[in-house]
Amino acid sequence: MKKNLTDFPQLDVIAVGAHPDDVEIACGGTLAALVRQGYKVGIIDLTDGEPTPGSPGPEVRLAEAQKAAQTLGVELRVTLDLPNRRLFDTFEARVLLAKEFRKYRPQIVIGFGDKTPLASPDHWQAMQITDAAIFYSRLTKWDEHFDHLPVHTISSQLYFRLAFEPQSLQDWASHFTIDIGETLETKIAAVKCYATQFPPHKDHVYDRIRGAALVAGGAAGFKAGEVFVGVRPLGASDLVKLVLPKYVGEGRIVP
């Protein structure tokens, strides 16, 4: 059935995770900051994360995910019907995600940027699927695969990493840090919505998330931060605004 695009709100930014909680842990502070800045933000989870230890079932996990989305203030959260633990970069998975991009028409997509050895291999597959779906979203003469949704070109793609994973994105050239000093507590509150995933004996996760944010932020001169990588070199026409965004001239930098 042909769908009308007015059925779907246009978003500025979409963050893609393999499982509910990936996006919160990787970039929840930035998403909450974007919402406060007035941008329309969405989250797409490729799987519902089930089965998983500690969860009584998918309904509970989905309810946790929706509560976390509300905590961040994002416009919408979509959970795709791809299989947890058996996530693979297939044609069907690429098309499924590309259809969501065509519906919600983001300008920026943020997703996994590397493998996570010792953790779920779904994350690496999610990266491959996201890379491909961004490309598929703009391909013409292939409408039959996409429910005849119009093509959509995504302008910019960024990679994230899970807050407590090793700093594995160092090989990329365009690192930058987003100030989440105002939204670190919101990020942690969103992760805490996953009560089944982080029961009291896993409380150390919050310390790790907080610690990673403080280290990343401190290195860039913020109270807390999240690091991203641009898949292409990032540039600017105003050197001062790029390197000193709070400089207001006459030697003054606003706090």
Please report how many Cα atoms fall inside a 13 Å half-sphere around the Cα of residue 26, on the Cβ side. Answer: 27
How do beta strands 225-230 and 156-160 pair? antiparallel
Task: State which residue, 18 or 34, has the beta carbon closest to Zn ion.
Answer: 18
Other Cβ atoms within 10 Å of 157 Cβ, number: 18
In the set 16, 22, 23, 197, which binds Zn ion (CB under 5 A)?
A: 22
Rg (CA), the chain: 18
Part in contact with Zn ion (CB under 5 A); list of ranges 13-21, 93-101, 134-142, 145-153: 13-21
Name the residue type at position 108. I
Binding characters for Zn ion, 60-99, by CB under 5 A (x = yes): ----------------------------------------
Part in contact with Zn ion (CB under 5 A); list of ranges 17-25, 80-88, 101-109, 180-188: 17-25
Task: State which residue, 49 or 225, has the beta carbon closest to Zn ion.
Answer: 49
In the numeric block, which tokens belong to residue 242? Answer: 């790029």
Part in contact with Zn ion (CB under 5 A); list of ranges 68-76, 95-103, 120-128, 242-250: 120-128
Report if residue 161 touches Zn ion, rule: CB under 5 A: no
Residues 6+ apart with CB under 8 A from 147: 1, 2, 3, 99
Task: State which residue, 22 or 64, has the beta carbon closest to Zn ion.
Answer: 22
Q: Tell me the β-bridge partners of 45.
A: 17, 79
Residue in 98, 109, 185 with CA at minimum distance from that of residue 140: 98
Report if residue 19 touches Zn ion, rule: CB under 5 A: yes
Contacts with Zn ion: how many residues (CB under 5 A)?
Answer: 4
Residues of this chain that interact with Zn ion (CB under 5 A) are: 18-19, 22, 120
